[in-house]
Amino acid sequence: MSRANFKGMSKWLACLLAAAIVAMPLAAVAQTKIVYHSNKFKPTDDVKLGRQAAAEAEQQFPQLRDSEVTAYVERVGQRLVASIPAEFQHAEFRYYFKVLNASDINAFALPGGPMYVNRGMIEAARTEGEMAGVMAHELSHVALRHGTAQATKAQKYAVGAGIAGILGTILAGPTVGQLAQLPIGAYFLKYSREYETEADLLGSRIMANAGTIRVTSPTCFARSRRRAVAVVVS
C-alpha cells in the first residue's frame, strides 16, 4: 500500500470513529448500562501511573510549541471532561491536554488524566466535532479506568507491586520511532472489543452532554487547524 493510500485510509478511519460517536442514537446509549470492571488498583494508582507514563512520553515525543493551538485543544478537552457523567467522575484525576508535533492521525490518554493529541489529528479533522469525538472516546477509557482494569484482568501483578510492574512492562521495548510504536500505546491502547464499545458509548454520552460539540466557533477551529498545518511548512 502506498504512503498516500495509507494516509488516506488512516484519515478515513479516524473520521469514521468521530462520526460514529456523534451519530450514535442517544436512545441506544441510554439503554446500554456501562459498569466498571474489576480493578485491584485505587484511583490514586491510576494517577501515579499516568504521571510517570506521561513523563516518559514527553521525553520521547516533541510537543507542538504553539500556545494558541495548545490552549484551544485544552479548552475543548476541559469542556469534554466537564461533560463526563457524574458516576464516572473521579476527584483524584487531573485531566490535561497537550499537542504532539507528530503527523500520525492519533490521540491517546493515560490513566489519571493526561491526554495527547497529535498535530496530524488536528490536520485530518474536518470539523471540531470530529476531533472532539476522538478525544471523547479516549477520555472514556480513562474515566472507565480501562488501563488498570486490563492489568487486573491479566492477573500478572500483585497489588503492592502493580505500579512498578506495569510501568516496567509498558515502558520497556525497542527504541521508539513513531507514536504507534510507543510501549504505552502497546499496552494501554490495545483494549478489547468490549472496552472499545464501552468507550464508544460513554464517548457519545459525553459528546451529547457537551452539545455535540460547539466549544468554540468554527473560525477558532479553522485558525487552530491552519496553525497546526503551518508547522509543517514553516
Task: Work out the pLDDT band at 75, boundaries 50, 70, 90.
Answer: very high
Cell for 48? Answer: 501515579
The reported pLDDT for the residue numbered 47 is 95
Question: What's the residue count for the chain?
Answer: 234
Instruction: Give the span between the Cα atoms of 103 and 124, in whole angstroms.
Output: 10
Segment 201-208 shows an average pLDDT of: 93
Residue 176 has pLDDT above 50, yes or no: no
Cβ-proximal residues to 50 (8 Å cutoff; 6+ apart), any chain: 110, 111, 112, 113, 114, 142
- Cell 469542556, located at residue: 79
Reply yes or no on whether the pLDDT at 4 is more than 50: no
Is 0.85 topped by the overall pTM? no
Q: For residue range 92-142, list pLDDT tens digits in order.
A: 999 999 999 999 888 889 999 999 999 999 988 888 888 999 999 999 999
Category of 25 on φ-ψ map: left (φ > 0), alpha (ψ -120 to 50) or beta: beta
Residues 82, 144, 97, 4, Cα dihedral to 10°: -120
